[in-house]
């Protein structure tokens, strides 16, 4: 079950508007989509670069995983989203290889996608999100 594309690179920020302005003014990249994902306690802005996105993420509540990440690791790279044709099959492959996952089953992501997170502990230190459009 190969990876199709880098769907997004997610960056945790404290001030979403300032980060959006930075990318717009410095790199000429505009917001294509914004969404609050209540289940994850985040607000995101997606900035399109070719067929991929920069995903700026900020917490909407103090108990959000992104809030905890900002507390412990500060702003910066949070996870990488890899596009796959079949999220469930890709997730099963990770488990079949004996690696840890965060989501035991695929779940809804933003933009109507289906997603699952793979644990960084057995993924060489990177939080990986499998994204099916
Ligand atoms: Co993501």
Domains present along the chain, CATH in parentheses: 3-132 (3.10.180.10)
Q: How far is the CA of 96 from the centre of ligand 1 (A)?
A: 23
Rounded to an integer, the average pLDDT of 13-36 is 97
Query: What is the pLDDT averaged over residues 90-99?
Result: 97
Ligand 1 centroid, distance to 50 Cα (angstroms): 17
Q: How many angstroms from the chain centroid is the CA of residue 5?
A: 14
**Predicted confidence (pLDDT) at residue 1 exceeds the cutoff of 80:** no
Helices (H), the chain: 16-27, 65-73, 87-96
Paired with 111 in beta bridges are none
46-69: pLDDT as tens digits: 999 999 999 999 999 999 999 999
Output the CA 78–ligand 1 centroid distance in Å: 9
At residue 79 the predicted structure's pLDDT band, cuts being 50, 70 and 90, is very high
Percentage of the residues of the chain whose pLDDT score is greater than 90: 94
Place of tokens 């717009």: 24
What's the chain's average pLDDT?
Answer: 96
């Amino acid at each position: 079950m190969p990876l199709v594309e880098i769907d997004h690179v997610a960056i945790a920020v404290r001030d979403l508007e300032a980060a959006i302005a930075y990318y717009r003014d410095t790199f000429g990249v505009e917001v294509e989509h914004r969404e609050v994902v209540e289940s994850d306690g985040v607000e995101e802005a997606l900035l399109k670069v070719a067929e991929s996105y920069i995903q700026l993420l900020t917490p909407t509540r103090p108990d959000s995983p992104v809030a905890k990440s900002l507390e412990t690791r500060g702003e910066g790279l949070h996870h990488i989203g890899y596009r796959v044709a079949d999220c469930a099959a890709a997730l099963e492959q990770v488990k079949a290889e004996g690696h840890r996952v965060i989501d035991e089953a695929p779940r809804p992501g933003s933009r109507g996608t289906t997603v699952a997170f793979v644990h960084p502990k057995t993924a060489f230190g990177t939080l990986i999100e499998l994204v099916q459009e």
